């Protein structure tokens, strides 16, 4: 048993047919006792969310853009 999904164009590299097992809902708490990290609150400047960066730990070039690992 499988379903053929209509995927967005940006996902064209994926095969559109999925087994029904892959499309079932995930458990509410897959790892009991695991705590989710609280994300810091954003600061809105000129209608855009921004966050205060304590330190830049690393950077890399990925798909024609820089990505930063920050603290």
- pLDDT confidence bin for 56, thresholds 50/70/90: very high
Q: Which domain holds residue 14?
A: 2-25+41-70
Count the domains in the chain. 1
- Would 20 be classed as within a structural domain? yes
Q: What's the confidence (pLDDT) of residue 4?
A: 92
Does the CA dihedral 53-58-61-62 come out positive or negative? negative
**32 located within any domain:** no
pLDDT in tens, 9-48: 999 899 999 998 888 887 777 777 777 777 778 888 888 8
Check the CA dihedral 68-40-51-56 and report its sign.
negative
Is residue 36 included in any domain, yes or no?
no
pLDDT confidence of residue 49: 87
- Position 50 pLDDT exceeds 90: no
């Amino acid at each position: 048993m499988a379903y053929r999904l209509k995927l967005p164009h940006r996902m064209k590299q994926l095969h559109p047919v999925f087994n029904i097992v892959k499309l079932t809902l995930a458990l509410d708490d897959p790892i009991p006792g695991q705590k989710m990290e609280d994300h810091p609150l954003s600061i809105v400047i000129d209608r855009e969310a921004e966050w205060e960066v304590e330190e830049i730990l690393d950077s890399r070039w990925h798909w024609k853009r820089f990505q930063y690992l920050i603290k």
